Structure 1
Amino acid sequence: MAAIKIAGATVNQTPLDWKGNFNRIQDAIVQAKSKQVEILCFPELAITGYGSEDLFLSYWYPQKALAQLGNLIPYCTEITVAVGLPVRIQDKVYNTVAVIENAKLKGFVAKQFMAIDGVHYEFRWFTPWQANQVIDLEFQGEKIPFGDMTFRHKDIHYGFEICEDAWRGEARPGYRLCERKVDLIFNPSASHFAMKKSAERRELIEFSSETFDTYYCYVNLLGNEAGRMIFDGEILLGKSGILLARNQLLSFHDFQLLTFELEEKEQGIAPIESKELEFVQASSLALFDYLRKSKSSGFVLSLSGGADSSTIAVLVAEMVRRGFAELGLELFVKKLGIVFSPKTENPEKELVGELLTTAYQGTQNSSDDTFNSAKALAESLGAKFYSWTIDEEVNSYTQKIEAAIGRKLTWEQDDITLQNIQARSRSPIIWMLANLGNALLLSTSNRSEGDVGYATMDGDTSGSISPIAAVDKHFLLHWLHWAEKNLNRPGLSFVNSLTPTAELRPLERTQTDEKDLMPYAIIVEIERLAIRDRRSPMDVFLILKEELEIEESVLKDYIKKFFRLWSRNQWKRERLAPSFHLDEFNVDPKTWYRFPILSGGYTEELEQLDQF
């Protein structure tokens, strides 16, 4: 087999951005040709973007994608290009890869297996293709082969598995490609980011290249494409069970090109990062893409001095740090669409001040500790910082209700009401600050609070996006200590010295989050089994009583509390602001876990637990 140069090109696409999507693909082709690449593979659905949702169901959208393919073909002289797009045939839509060789369309390969787990819902839009079936498709007056086929370039015989195709065990197309004696398999993918997922992909590429005795090239989409899912832009090459190449993930660039020689030698392998660093990289890119694609001018954050809002403030600062480092100031600002002329010797910190506005909204129940924590962090990051109290607004609402019902509200009788009005009173004024600056309001809910409804609707849940709603609080508390040291964020020393608290009750009542709920470490263990693994309350108990050193009666109480609060608060999860999918699972009913808003609340299952 002659040694040739191939490449994977990851692109940051956006649904309905036809011109931008086309230009990014074209630019990558130009760069690949300049590097003498002979075969270039783009990710799954690169022409439209993977997150086009029900646009795929329309007639006009796949037709326009085909038209874009036709426009692309003339740019593919002296190179072979594989690019993903949807194709409608009568009443069915197929997820395909088009192969263009020297400006001539050679055929379409159709995806055979649909991703239907977690954040994926492909059966809603696409029909799986049957193995070994090939038909003719009319395209620009020619009949083009369509279906399950392979291709040849010089003496290279190659084929495709499209994303989910590769994850279907012995049913996967790779086994049939092996029987056809291919030398190279491409896997164009739209595989969502999740912390620690790269290790799984590496295992897949090593297993596939050894089992099928081929070169195996994996190419993923890049960026926060459509709001929730993040694509990491991973490109991998393996042969004979050995990883030969891997790129740096989560780039701020429009596209990345990674070239390979088809030779069994290592060609540069970027390391797999720690979970803590992956969280920073993915969140930073997601915030960057969301900001520029929404055409907003910055972020506004109600900075309480606690763990959640402090995490988000640091993530915005890291967005600036990392984008600035990778793109340079001029390109970073240009991509954001803002005007910025630095006036100090620290343009990075100055730019944080342009993009992030924070406010501490205190009440008579707030402490000096949280105020000092918020102020110190904002100043260390360079964010704008305001502070005011909302006691006047809280008292106004409270007095109106007291006059209407004819009695005073008390903490003994009206605890939740008096807590919630404080959180809700913060919302209107922080929204004003966001509206004044055409900015995105950042909501501070985390996944653990989403599990049990420990959040005030129209209060701390208010926002345009909720960056950490898919991340558990236990991890966030650990990450803040890690970030203080490893990201050189000394302003976190204050928040890391505090015990998490909502500060909605009078200070003498010593409110803490874990006192209100249960230890966050326990919530993580229960949700892992109950939500991720979909176990019953009894299953959760039987497993955790063996795993945790905790009194059985206490464990039962925690489990009952979790399931009751989970059932009662589905309506809150339905109304959470859009959140980034960052972990192996989340509780957003729009993307991962659907649950009835009204239910029996596990009544019988929890009674059985009591009787055990």
Structure 2
Amino acid sequence: MKLAGAALNQTPLDWDNNLRNIKTAVEQAKEQNVDILCLPEMSIPGYGCEDLFLSEWVSVECFERLLEIKEWCEGVIVCVGLPVRLNNTTYNCACVIKDKQILGFTAKQFLANDGVHYEPRWFSSWVPNTIEEFEALGQTYLIGDIIYEHKGIKFAFEICEDAWRNANRPAYRHIEKGVELIINPSASHFAMSKTDVRYHLVVDASREFDCTYLYVNLLGNEAGKMIYDGEIIIAQNGNLVLRNQLLSFKSIDFECAEVSFETPLQPVELDLLPVDENVEFISAISLALFDYLRKSRSRGFVLSLSGGADSSLCAVAVAEMVRRALEEISLEEFAQKTNCLSPEEVAEYKQLPINELRNLLVGRLLVTAYQGTINSSDDTYRSAEELAKSIGAVFYNWTIDEEVKSYRGKIEHAIGRNLTWENDDITLQNIQARVRAPGIWMIANLKNSLLLATSNRSEASVGYATMDGDTAGSISPIAGVDKAFIRQWLVWAQLQLGYEGLHYVNNLQPSAELRPLENTQTDEEDLMPYPLLNQIERLAFYERIAPKQVFEKLKGTYPDEQLKQFIKRFYSLWSRNQWKRERYAPAFHLDDYNVDPRSWLRFPILSGGFREELSEL
């Protein structure tokens, strides 16, 4: 039997785009004489519709679109995902179409309700081993825990989370009923190193259940925050039959392979090379930026390039977005999706060497500006200028001292005294960061571009950012990763990706550069060492242990009294700054957790601030 999966780059409620991708995948399957084609979970409406799944009309619209898709499926079995609403209850379903006929709907049994997932808010779980009839648009259909058959081979479904439920997963019941092929349409979000877990989930299941397993994931930045890697895996009896390249810039990644059910492969043990998170990170963030750019119909990016680590990474991510896209899709497709070149320019530039073409396109898509003050150093200016030049970005340079002086003068006149660094440190730091926002927003407005905010997860945890200043932006691409990871990644990018312009920033200590230069301000002196901050953060909110337990876990890494002070500082700043996390620009989910209250981690804006818990230290 010839099995196929098509990872689709869908967009919530973008019916034309979604059906066009589905139709292209179906046509490819027919051209390749495929028996069964699996498409991702919720591929008709898009997985990220959120509360719109509660609307009756969305399910009706999906069903009408399903009837369109049905007519394309001559000579092939297609498995396509959509919501089905029965008696004011919505189910997450995979529909099986064969020769223009709907055979039935399999409904998801286990709903994801951890981390970034809130499926029980929208869907209901289907009861195992039950099948019902329902009527829609004058026809009667079957829905439930259905076993299908093709060429004498029984097949059935696990839908995404179903497969992660270990002892309770549907596969145990399927095998008892003679199922030889399990199909899994998924919308499994990207997180660094997660692909290893998913790989074993599929391959080990094929061995344990003595079956063939077809897994297909969603692709791209579908709805803004979550990234999907488009993984397609076919495994049989513990053997890997097919696995694709992840995080593709294509709209459709179609993969197929033949498997024999008469002479199945014999079980073997497979070794898997460890995943390089540096590679995964840039692959994910560059695809996420590409999709965010085109799906928001923006014309490019604008960045306040300070010369520091965070803004430098954002700049390199845009450059890598261009390079990686050009390596995978044509210049014509890139220009059409980003609207950055005319057809005449495409014809003129398509023969250019890849690095020259990359810099030319970065110049069309990325505008940067260094906004210095008397507290800015020559080192950070050189770092910003040289990096921008090396990747071809537009680079502006202006100072904001006059604006800072104007605001300072107004307030000093109003309160009747001079502001001093001894008494008004935070006020004098913050006004510099805030004054940078209006000018860079003006450039973004002029260019119809997205303003990149540059806060990272470590800063978000402790509120080490000026609201309406360095937090200003349309999208915050690196807010899902910590500062220690960013610093080591920049060194890796210089050495492995050839971004020599990072040489300057990699020799600097991270600094906000908001105090007078003679104060030699550094981030870690203001806060604590970044690796320790990340350890406390992970123990507190990933492992979810109390402050006293955090101290016991970290005891010995620093002198006891110093460690206690760091822990108290972290929890106090965390509690005080939840309101900031509520207001950050949308961020990509990149790691196995994040601190975004709208996706992974909810926390009260007002709380007791761990006072009693910290007193136990």
TM interval, short-chain normalised:
over 0.9
Q: Deviations over 1:521-565 (max 9, x none)?
A: 0011111110111111011111111xx532121111111111000
Q: 1:355 matched to which residue of 2?
A: 365
Q: Deviations over 1:427-481 (max 9, x none)?
A: 0000000000000000000000000000000000000000000100000000000
Contact kept in structure 1, 2:239 and 2:265, CA below 8 Å? no
Out of 225, 228, 231, the position equivalent to 1:231 is 228
Shift of 1:339: 2.6
The alignment status of 1:70 with 2:80, answered yes or no, reads no
Q: Deviations over 1:248-299 (max 9, x none)?
A: 0111111111102114569x99977410011001001000000000000000
Out of 397, 420, 445, the position equivalent to 1:410 is 420
Measure, in 2, the Cα distance between the counterparts of 1:121 and 1:520: 31
Contact kept in structure 2, 1:194 and 1:582, CA below 8 Å? yes
Q: Name the amino acid aligned to 1:427.
A: A
Alignment of 1:111-190 (within 5 A): 111-190=108-187
Q: 1:471 matched to which residue of 2?
A: 481
SS at match of 1:48: coil
Q: Deviations over 1:481-538 (max 9, x none)?
A: 0000111100000000100000000000010000000000001111111011111101
Q: 2:574 matched to which residue of 1?
A: 566
SS at match of 1:75: coil
Q: Name the amino acid aligned to 2:249.
A: F
Measure, in 2, the Cα distance between the counterparts of 1:349 and 1:270: 36
Contact kept in structure 2, 1:574 and 1:588, CA below 8 Å? yes
Measure, in 2, the Cα distance between the counterparts of 1:595 and 1:490: 41
Contact kept in structure 2, 1:192 and 1:229, CA below 8 Å? yes
SS at match of 1:132: coil
Shift of 1:19: 1.0
Q: Name the amino acid aligned to 1:587.
A: V
Measure, in 1, the Cα distance between the counterparts of 2:271 and 2:616: 53
Measure, in 2, the Cα distance between the counterparts of 1:244 and 1:567: 50
Contact kept in structure 2, 1:299 and 1:355, CA below 8 Å? yes
Paired residues in the alignment total: 603
Measure, in 1, the Cα distance between the counterparts of 2:333 and 2:141: 41
Q: 2:550 matched to which residue of 1?
A: 540
Shift of 1:338: 3.0
Q: 2:603 matched to which residue of 1?
A: 595
Measure, in 1, the Cα distance between the counterparts of 2:29 and 2:183: 17
Measure, in 2, the Cα distance between the counterparts of 1:438 and 1:271: 43
- When residues 272 and 97 of structure 1 are mapped into structure 2, their CA distance, relative to the original with a 3 A threshold, is farther
The alignment-based identity, stated in percent, is 58
SS at match of 2:246: coil
Gaps of 5+ in 2: none
Contact kept in structure 2, 1:202 and 1:243, CA below 8 Å? no
Q: 1:607 matched to which residue of 2?
A: 615
Contact kept in structure 2, 1:6 and 1:260, CA below 8 Å? yes
Shift of 1:243: 2.3
Shift of 1:137: 1.6
Contact kept in structure 2, 1:247 and 1:270, CA below 8 Å? no
Q: 1:399 matched to which residue of 2?
A: 409
SS at match of 1:488: coil
Out of 39, 43, 50, the position equivalent to 1:42 is 39
Q: 2:54 matched to which residue of 1?
A: 57
Measure, in 1, the Cα distance between the counterparts of 2:503 and 2:219: 34
SS at match of 1:60: helix
Q: 1:448 matched to which residue of 2?
A: 458
Contact kept in structure 2, 1:245 and 1:269, CA below 8 Å? no
Q: 1:581 matched to which residue of 2?
A: 589
Q: Name the amino acid aligned to 2:589.
A: H
Measure, in 1, the Cα distance between the counterparts of 2:209 and 2:566: 49
Measure, in 1, the Cα distance between the counterparts of 2:454 and 2:340: 25
Contact kept in structure 2, 1:285 and 1:319, CA below 8 Å? yes
Alignment of 1:224-303 (within 5 A): 224-263=221-260, 264=264, 273-303=275-305
Shift of 1:245: 1.6
Gaps of 5+ in 1: none
Alignment of 1:74-93 (within 5 A): 74-93=71-90
Measure, in 2, the Cα distance between the counterparts of 1:35 and 1:134: 33
Q: 2:20 matched to which residue of 1?
A: 23
Measure, in 2, the Cα distance between the counterparts of 1:493 and 1:289: 29
* Divergent runs of 4+, >4 A: 268-273, 342-345
How well do the aligned residues superpose, as a CA RMSD in angstroms?
1.4
Alignment of 1:88-99 (within 5 A): 88-99=85-96
SS at match of 1:458: coil
- When residues 242 and 551 of structure 1 are mapped into structure 2, their CA distance, relative to the original with a 3 A threshold, is farther
SS at match of 1:6: strand
SS at match of 2:283: helix
SS at match of 2:472: coil
SS at match of 1:43: coil
Measure, in 2, the Cα distance between the counterparts of 1:335 and 1:8: 24
Q: 1:556 matched to which residue of 2?
A: 564
Q: Name the amino acid aligned to 1:563.
A: Y
Bigger mean CA deviation after superposition, 162-171 or 354-363: 162-171
Q: Name the amino acid aligned to 2:192.
A: M
